[in-house]
A and B are shown apart, each in its own frame.
Chain A
Amino acid sequence: MRPLHSTTPDSDGEPPGDPLTTLLSASARGDESSFARLYDQTGPRIFGLVLRVIRDRAQAEEVTQEVYLDIWRQSARFDAARGSALSWMMTIAHRKSVDRVRSSEAQSRRDTTYDMKQQAVPYDTTVESAHRGLDAERVRKALETLTPTQREALELAYFGGYTHREVAALLNLPEGTAKTRIRDGLIRLRDTMGVEQ
């Protein structure tokens, strides 16, 4: 599994040998067993991301299911020139997760009077014991090269699902600064990890 797109932006994208790309194109032809293998190879990554953003396990399962249904439906529309298959899937998963946390917030504000008694689902501790591979190690090292503000801004945006304006407010930054911190942080990560690859 390659988390990073190592080719230059102007190239033709992933080599045809990328196993996830192959599984995606087979899925586009309706091959359910290829999709099952695609799920097996990406499930922990996708579910882990969704769970980290949404935090509630039941909702995370629901959103992960929506994510994979979307991936299945859209599989023929994946364009390797626009990034790796994994990156495409993670982008879909992140967007859906952020949509969910924002909409449930908006909804819970609206529905407070009708709020249903909910059984609390404990935050899953397997997040802490998540398996940490080489990718994770590399990302962690790269994160250390960021300034604390860049790192915080990036994590609040990506895992917290906050907009850059909200991030600015949370970090007491002047409005408009958080977006540049986020951008600069991403660029620095890209360059650091790109060099190592």
Chain B
Amino acid sequence: MNDDIHSLIGAYAVDAVSEDERYRFEQHLSACTHCQAELVGLQAVAGSLASASAVTPPPSLRANILQQIGTVRPLPPLVSDHDDEGDDGGPAHDRPAPSPVSVESAPASIEQARERRRRHGVRRFVAAAVAAAAIVVGGLTWHPWTGSAPTQVSASQQVLHASDAQRYVKHLGQTTATVVRSKKLDQSVLVADNMAPPPAGHAYQLWYQTPAGKMVSAGLMPANASGATQTVLLNGAADKATGVGITVEPAGGSTSPTTTPVALFSFST
């Protein structure tokens, strides 16, 4: 191709490219053996830059990861040979997102993965949400902080695993909140990671928005320690709801929202 695209190789190796440049470079990469060879060395160098930054992770992270992988089967190796050109996203990727643990058919390489993510921005979003849900699914069997009766846990799990589960994600500062809805089960679950505790004397209240635009209480979030993951099954009918809102209310909750929502999830898209 041209010099311009060749010269992106360094920026590409350190992920300092825009999505568009990534796409163009990977197109180029698939045809340029020189860049392919050079990239191996540059990525290795990039990785070594962090060698002075090692930080011992908390033991809880190890426990979480090892527990989580127990719920996920590694992808099989690629045995056919349609894995080698970056250009076949393939019809497989037009399928709806499957259940939490099998996110999508796996790309053969990071390069392909990146390209697919670029070309399937929405899918990437869905996949991220699915992955978030998968983490929580792993957590449910182990962590007392879900704080719910076993029947409630399994109801949440059913929603998270539902074949028609739809996921809506919001990033709010350090918090990632995901609403997973199953129309079939007529229920939804809120998964909140790292949500700050509500102000003293207050609670987070969940709301369903009705087609008429009314907010109907879907229950309170139980208080939990900062940094943990909370999984809450919402009360009420999810199927007809047009969205979910979270507000800060006086402890015990309100009959209708009294503050501006901290998060709103619209089901309409």
Contact = CB atoms under 8 A, between A and B. Distances in A.
Contacts of A9: 37-38, 40-41
Interface in B92-130: 103, 106-110, 113-114
Return the 5 tightest CB-CB contacts between A and B, nearest first: A183-B10, A90-B47, A9-B37, A3-B48, A136-B52
A157 B10 CA distance: 10
Contacts, number: 273
Contacts of A62: 176, 193-194
B143 interface: no
Given A114-B262, A117-B196, A27 B56 contact: no
A82 B40 contact: yes
A23 interface: no
A30 B72 CA distance: 9
Contacts of B196: 116-119
B85 interface: no
Nearest to B169: A107
Nearest to A40: B62
Nearest to B204: A116
Contacts of A145: none
B135 interface: yes
B77 A94 contact: no
Contacts of A39: 62, 65-66
B176 to A, nearest CB: 7
Interface centre among B10, B14, B69 (most CB of A within 10 A): B14
Contacts of B70: 32
Interface in A140-197: 140, 154-155, 157-159, 161-165, 167, 178-180, 182-187, 189-190, 193-194
Interface residues of A, number: 99
Interface in B203-230: 226-227
A56 to B, nearest CB: 6
Given A73-B72, A107-B171, A95 B49 contact: no
A155 B49 CA distance: 9
B72 A90 contact: no
Nearest to A111: B172
A108 B173 CA distance: 6
Interface string B160-203: 00000000001111111000000000000000011111010000
B106 to A, nearest CB: 6
Interface in A114-136: 114-119, 121, 124, 126-127, 130-133, 135-136
B14 A158 contact: yes
